[in-house]
Structure 1
């Protein structure tokens, strides 16, 4: 586990209404590794930590416990496995991970904290469900929740939030809100066959906002689900496909 007086974790509310007052970004400064955040999701049935960061210090433990502790941790994909066993031990809770990605685990789970998501979706606590999209990794997950009467999708980088997603008013046709990547740093996109599987995974779920892997990646739009599909189609056409099942999909 990272231990240093150099680092500290920041706690940043995602918003002050619409359920976002129940969501808090936790991220380490100065930036450590790729600088992803985890998100504390508060619900009456118990709190869920979405994804994980390396640094866990007394201030972070005190903050989370002041909000009611953790009922569960759910991790989107192996890039964010990091110190999840230490977090699970401190908060005495299980960690949900996709069964397909278990090959990437490198440490023994002596306390049996890990729970593997086998099905296409699994309810973590009431009103909060992990959805298996695959793509970025075979078992990549997103998290669907209803907070304050608003439905939200926490996407990590299973769906990569693009700059144009955050500045979408009057944007030019053909610009995307999301990218769908096998390797983000090397910019290797996923093929349409994977995109259509990802679309079918999330299609049954409604949501009005997405929340990405890094602080500030909030996309708020009642049509954000349509923007996910639009982005998939733009990526498909850009790769030279003009006759594919994905292009026939529609929403609503």
Structure 2
């Protein structure tokens, strides 16, 4: 029996003798099946070919994989009381990484992503000015001055106006000066509240 991980999206599947016949994440219209076909790696193969690295990302500890795997996101550890919230996830967990996180106080376990997707408001972040961890709900753009919104990033399907307005209405009451995106360095370091509002207006104008 082996734990199988999709090579394209990084989703993990229950242990079985043979790999899954398909990945429902990749077959969703928001994702895609790898150009060479569906492929799965066992946990052991994944650990042999990749390693976990931890480093600072604008004041928070990030954990990612090298070389990059699947969609290449990194997770962030957000201090919370005597433990941490792990924001976003990565496809590999090693004993060393688990021990390191445990030494920081361990994790609070939550659900989320896709239907019911969430953002995290870290009120004590950014030196008390507040931070928003958005994952791919509001993706930090390459110039790191705006965020944008997509139903599917790999397949370039924009998010509809009603959904963007709902995101904006949820975020509007929150105090924050910084936004952390889903990938290393894809953050808005300061002035993020105004940048978020400007991003919503810019996006809605573009799809109007």
Q: 1:224: how far off? A: 1.1
Q: Counterpart of 2:201? A: 233
The separation in 2 between residues aligned to 1:6 and 1:97, in whole angstroms, is 28
- Partner Cα distance (1:97, 1:67) in 2: 21
TM-score normalised over the length of structure 1: 0.61
Q: What's the counterpart of residue 52 of structure 1?
A: 89
**Preserved contact between residue 82 and residue 105 of structure 2 (Cα < 8 Å):** no
Structure-1 separation of matches of 2:105 and 2:129: 21
Give the root-mean-square deviation of aligned CA atoms: 1.6
Say whether the 8 Å CA contact 2:84–2:106 is kept in structure 1.
yes
2:128 counterpart of 1:159? no
Unaligned runs of 5+ residues in structure 1 are: 73-94, 102-136, 169-176, 242-252
- CA drift of 1:45 comes to 4.1
- Counterparts of 1:51-200 in structure 2, within 5 Å, are 51-70=88-107, 72=108, 95-98=109-112, 137-145=114-122, 146-147=124-125, 148-165=127-144, 168=145, 177-200=146-169
Partner Cα separation in structure 2 for residue 61 and residue 194 of structure 1: 36
> Using the alignment, how far apart are the partners of 1:63 and 1:41 within structure 2?
14
1:135-171 Cα offsets, whole Å, 9 max, x none, are xx44110001123423111111100111122xx4xxx
Name the structure, 1 or 2, with higher relative contact order (CA <8 Å, separation 6+). 2
Residue 211 (structure 1) shift: 0.6
The number of residues matched between the two structures is: 163
> 2:21 aligned with 1:7, yes or no?
no
- Of stretches 56-65 and 146-155 in structure 1, the one that deviates more from structure 2 is 146-155
**1:236 Cα deviation after fit:** 1.3
Q: CA deviation at 1:202?
A: 0.7
TM (norm. structure 2) is 0.73
How much has 1:53 moved relative to structure 2?
Answer: 0.9
1:35-70 alpha-carbon deviations (Å, 9 max, x no partner): 111111123342111111111112211211221222
Matches within 5 A, 1:196-215: 196-215=165-184
List gaps (5 residues or longer) in structure 2: 4-42
For residue 74 of structure 2, the aligned residue among 10, 33, 37 is 37
The answer to whether the 8 Å contact 2:129/2:175 transfers is no
